[in-house]
């Protein structure tokens, strides 16, 4: 299919991006192929697994379902934005508590949990699982992930009382 390319301008991880792409080109492809940001994973490609989760205007979305034309003037944040130059405390908690095995789903999980914890600093296990309902992990059984969030919450409480 030969689509006419169009300019799309958006903010990605705090930086302005201008691209000339077909309007129905997917965000996951823009990130991985055009911008070489490979932290966002591509798995099911139909919005069922959450491996490609990113934040757009503060909302968790599956980047495999977002077309280039939908990005105009949007603010996009990827796992690279969350971790910056060092591990985010959520990532550290995942490492300490065995919240990952193969690691393929982990970036999407971290993005979703980052979103949850930005809006709810003390979620219950049920709230964590509900917020992760769009993220599929075939390895962990979610036990390590719940331990990681509990660990994260304990550390944040200790940090805020110092």
Chain segment 36-48, per-residue pLDDT in tens? 999 999 999 999 9
pLDDT for 2 = 55
Q: What is the mean pLDDT of residues 61-70?
A: 98
Average pLDDT over residues 100-120: 94
**In this model, does residue 103 exceed pLDDT 70?**
yes
Determine the average pLDDT of the residues in 43-65.
Answer: 96
According to DSSP, residue 86 is labeled: S
Is a pLDDT exceeding 60 seen at residue 1?
Answer: no
Q: What CATH code would you report for 86-161?
A: 1.10.150.120
pLDDT, position 162:
61
CATH 3.10.20.30 segments of the chain: 6-80
Tell me what the mean pLDDT of segment 64-71 comes to: 97
Give the whole-angstrom CA distance, residue 107 versus residue 110: 5
On the question of pLDDT at 22 being above 60, the answer is yes
Mean per-residue pLDDT, 100-104: 90
d(CA 146, CA 49): 18
User: How would residue 107 be classed by pLDDT, with cut points 50, 70 and 90?
Assistant: very high
Other Cβ atoms within 10 Å of 91 Cβ, number: 23
Domain 6-80 - what CATH class?
alpha beta
Task: Give the separation between CA 161 and CA 146, rounded to whole angstroms.
Answer: 23
Residue ranges, comma separated, of all CATH 1.10.150.120 domains in the chain are: 86-161
Q: Check residue 85 and give its pLDDT.
A: 83
| Per-residue confidence (pLDDT) for residue 53, from 0 to 100 | 98
Tell me phi and psi for residue 3, to 5 degrees.
Answer: -100, 145
């Amino acid at each position: 299919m030969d689509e006419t390319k169009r300019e799309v301008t958006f903010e990605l991880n705090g930086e302005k991006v201008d691209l000339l792409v077909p309007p129905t080109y997917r965000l996951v492809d823009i990130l991985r192929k055009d911008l070489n940001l490979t932290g966002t994973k591509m798995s099911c490609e139909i919005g069922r697994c959450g491996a490609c989760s990113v934040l757009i205007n503060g909302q968790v979305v599956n980047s495999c379902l977002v077309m280039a034309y939908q990005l105009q003037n949007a603010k996009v944040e990827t796992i690279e934005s969350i971790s910056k130059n060092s591990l985010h405390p959520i990532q550290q908690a995942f490492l300490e508590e065995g919240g990952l095995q193969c690691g393929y789903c982990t970036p999407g999980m971290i993005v979703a949990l980052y979103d949850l914890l930005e809006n709810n600093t003390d979620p219950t296990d049920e709230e964590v699982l509900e917020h992760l309902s769009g993220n599929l992990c075939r390895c962990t059984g979610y036990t390590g992930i719940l331990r990681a969030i509990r660990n994260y919450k304990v550390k944040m409480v200790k940090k805020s009382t110092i």
